[in-house]
Structure 1
Amino acid sequence: MDSPYRHELEVAIQAVQAATRISRHVLDESNKGEIQKADLTPVTVADYAIQAVLTQALHSAFPDDGLVGEESAGELLTNSALVQHMWAVIQNVQTSCSSSSDDWDKAREIFPPSAESLADLISLCETTTPAGPDASPNRVWVFDPIDGTKTFLRGEQYAINVALLIGGRQILSVVACPLLDGNTSPDKTVDNSTLDHHGPEEGGCILFAVKGFGAHVRPIFGENVPVRRLPRHADGVTLHELKLVTCWKGLDSGVEGINEEISKALDVKFPGCDLLGWVPRWAVLALGLANMTVWVYKTRERYAKIWDHAGAMLLFEEVGGMITDVDGKDIDLTRGRKFSANFGFVAAPRSCHHLVLRAVRDTLGVQGKGHLLR
């Protein structure tokens, strides 16, 4: 892709390739270094190792840019076994990368220099707060090392998300889906257990986009690989052509049954695609396997986290999608690590987004959830 951000795209793709190798390596290990965070969600050695590698790669290439990642360094300061496990994984993957056919001339800039550097690298991701156009730094990289850790632990769908924000706006997106076939037919539905059965060097896909230059998909690995520009399939879609992706089997934070009722109101097939991670959902929307998603939190005090959405949303927008919250407001990425100015999500083709939004709000009223509306 020719764009003003070609260099940023090349660096991010190479970093995500290394991150994918780490994730696949840990998937093959019996010990994934799983621990529970304070919010009771799981984290693995892969989450930490990938965040360290992404930080090293992006900070080396763009030292003045801010960095925001999901994981914090606190656990690494007291858990020396986890640090050594991370370092062993990184060294193993670095060795395999240096002997692969891919271009790893800049491997020393991608991989951390020592085990002692890992906590400091993770800490770099804790000091930046995403903000508006007048903030410093103006350029901020946001990443989720593994979106869908629960499904990753089961060997199911997960994604690696990297985004560049400039002035609080999505400019660049690189998303790796190591277990998703980028050539899946649009008439298929996918769920967490739908896996690309190609080998680890051939399977999966990278989706990437630069704002205003379209969304693209390519294999994760290989030289001179085919790159396909994704069509603007969401342009001109009618209500009868809506296809849903949601997470209807895992409603820890969402209003139970609301997606089914909205689907009935719109006469949309339910359940459609079903994926736990948000980044895989945005990828599926970009690929045309779906063109609509809705999420309504149980309370107005629940907010989405920036690393689950920033950049990945751009993929859908670049194929004709429109994304707002349940109140119809644009998603505001200038409020920090949480979308504190927004409540939930309504994503649909621009041509019928207003009709989907109306159905969401009407359904909430009928279901006695009007207190969630503003």
Structure 2
Amino acid sequence: MSYSKELKVAQLAVQRASILTKKVFHEKAKGTLSKDDKSPVTIGDFGAQALIIAAIKKNFPDDQVVGEEEASSLRDDVKLRDQIWGLVDGTRLSDAEAEKVLGGPIESVEAMLDAIDAGNSAGGAKGRIWALDPIDGTKGFLRGGQYAVCLALMVDGDVKVGVLGCPNLPIDDAAPLDATSGVDQTDAEGKGVLFSAVYGQGATSRPLSVAGLAKGQSIHMKEVKDITQATFCESVEAGHSSHGDQHAIATKLNISKPSVRMDSQAKYGSIARGAGDIYLRLPVSATYQEKIWDHASGDLIVREAGGEVTDSLGKRLDFSIGRTLSANKGVVAAPKAVHSTVLEVVKEVLSKK
């Protein structure tokens, strides 16, 4: 299958949701709640999830969605619910044809809540299931760093379409990452990228737009001729990824540049277009399980850009089990030519723990 319709719907839906998140990004009060796992959720998370799931259900009514958020707290909090409705109802693409593809505006508050709650799929190895993170990197979103709107289609457990909206990344694919790339960011002119990939068809980037899709271009992992000069990315939060192990790995690889700490799957998009080289996300505990919505889009985009993505044992990421990557431990993403070298050092460091 070409998945051309799925790709277009996903791109436009992520683009429209990114417009909503940009509105919230500039607000001092973002309507933050704490979930059971103590992670934050904002009005932007709820609004973006509603817009994206509504577009999916309009175009593919039988498809399931694994979404990060659910609407029970909004049903009990009228003020917050109405605040989110104001955002959702007021967010449009300025291109009428693009809006027609998405199905136009959500009809009511109750329809918005139902759309959010439609992200309740358990996932699995059968059928068409979308993995959605409406704002990946919510802490980065709150502190003014990087974040991403993430959507991927899995068919019988394999990722076939992946899209990332990264409002605070530079449009220029050649702009290199540095130690400041994850902090004090804006979505000013020259910022905002839409990454996408279809299995077997390569990966692209294009500027985020407020209308239809802007012109895209192919992206590719950068050739790493000297691994000691590689740029490696890691999460900002020490609770998400083991900074100590990753520093030890970089030291053994004789990488002298400081790591680039960024929130969200913006790291996947950045290495896919050659702005960075290596992404490490190593487990902080034996029991921690990654969520599929945190990796599905980025995994496909990096692989379609010529990279390799595995866990810390060299196994492909398995999105077919449920809502988590329960069969995997950690993530190692790098250009194919050097992935085995990086993985060997990862195994060496982790084996000593």
Structure 1 residues 73-152: aligned runs within 5 Å:
73-94=71-92, 97=93, 100-101=94-95, 103-106=97-100, 109-126=103-120, 128-132=121-125, 135=126, 138-152=127-141
Which residue is equivalent to 1:271? 258
* 1:372 counterpart residue number: none
SS at 1:161 equivalent: strand
CA contact 1:180–1:194 (8 Å) conserved in 2: no
Match of 2:55 in 1: 57
For the 8 Å contact 2:222–2:274, the answer to whether it is kept is: yes
Using the TM superposition, name which of 289-298 and 105-114 deviates more.
105-114
Aligned partners of 1:301 and 1:168: how far apart in 2?
23
Structure 1 residues 205-224: Cα deviation after superposition (integer angstroms, max 9, x where no partner): 10111011111010111557
Q: Is the 8 A contact 1:244 1:269 kept in 2?
A: no
Counting matched residue pairs gives: 351
Aligned 8 A contact 1:238 1:352 in 2: no
Contact 1:245 1:271 in 2 (8 A): no
Residue 164 (structure 2) aligns with? 175
Secondary structure at the aligned position of 2:328 is classed as coil
Structure-2 separation of matches of 1:86 and 1:15:
17
Counterpart pick for 1:246 among 234, 241, 250: 234
Q: CA RMSD in A?
A: 2.1
Question: d(CA) in 2 for partners of 1:269 and 1:335?
Answer: 38
Using the alignment, how far apart are the partners of 2:327 and 2:43 within structure 1? 33
Q: Are residues 358 and 219 of structure 1, via their aligned partners in 2, closer, same or farther at CA, if it must alter by over 3 Å?
A: same
Are residues 1:161 and 2:150 paired?
Answer: yes
Q: TM-score, normalised by structure 2?
A: 0.93
The 1:81/1:192 distance shift into structure 2, 3 A limit, reads same
Whole-Å Cα distance in 2 between the matches of residues 85 and 322 of structure 1?
Answer: 42
Q: Which runs of 5+ in 2 are unaligned?
A: none
- 2:44 aligns with 46
Which amino acid is the alignment partner of residue 364 of structure 1? L
Question: Could you tell which deviates more after superposition, 291-300 or 62-71?
Answer: 291-300
Paired with 1:119 and 1:224, the residues of 2 have a C-alpha distance of 28
| Displacement of 1:299 | 1.7
Deviations along 1:317-357, whole A, 9 cap, x unmatched?
11211111112211111110111101111122222222211
Task: Specify the alignment match of 2:193 in structure 1.
Answer: 205
Cα distance in 2, alignment partners of residues 276 and 15 from structure 1 = 22
Distance 1:351 1:330 in 2: 16
TM normalised by structure 1 equals 0.88
User: Equivalent residue for 1:5?
Assistant: 3
Q: What is the rounded CA distance, in whole Å, between the counterparts of 1:344 and 1:15 in structure 2?
A: 29
CA–CA distance in 1 between the matches of 2:101 and 2:220?
34
Q: Counterparts of 2:217 and 2:96 in 1: how far apart (Å)?
A: 20
Pair 1:193-2:183 in alignment: yes
Aligned-partner Cα distance in 2 for 1:108–1:181: 26
